[in-house]
Amino acid sequence: MRPSLILSTFVTCAAVAVTSLVAPAVANADQTAQETINQLQSEGFTVNVDRVGSGRIENCVVTGVRNPQSQTRNVRDYYGPRDANGDRKYRIVEVVVSRSISVSLDCSN
């Protein structure tokens, strides 16, 4: 398989993923703090934790999930055959390169 076809396929799949992004799940009352963090990480987020108190994570309560951020990069997606000048058509596709979110914990109990 040609490298340009592989890149084109990757970029197209990434574009579909970008357009199908959903909001991060909100902390469920039945979940522990660690389960909430794990869920967000499994959704592709880098989780930044701020906490009140010095208790163990097992005793913490999630008080907030906020500030979802996405960093994107524009990538050329080449398609079609080369023209008489050897040039190819392309489209610019926005690809998510990283995602982060903040989780606040109360660990004072």
The pLDDT profile of the chain, 109 residues, written as one tens digit per residue, is: 455 555 555 545 554 444 344 445 555 668 999 999 999 999 999 999 999 999 999 999 999 999 999 999 999 999 999 999 999 999 999 999 999 999 999 999 7
pLDDT of residue 47: 97
The reported pLDDT for the residue numbered 107 is: 95
CB 102 within 8 A of CB 65: yes
Domain ranges of the chain: 3-106
Burial 9-45 (b: 16+ CB within 10 A, else e): eebeebbeeeeeeeebeebeeeebbeebbebbeebeb
Residues 79 and 91: beta-carbon distance below 8 Å: yes
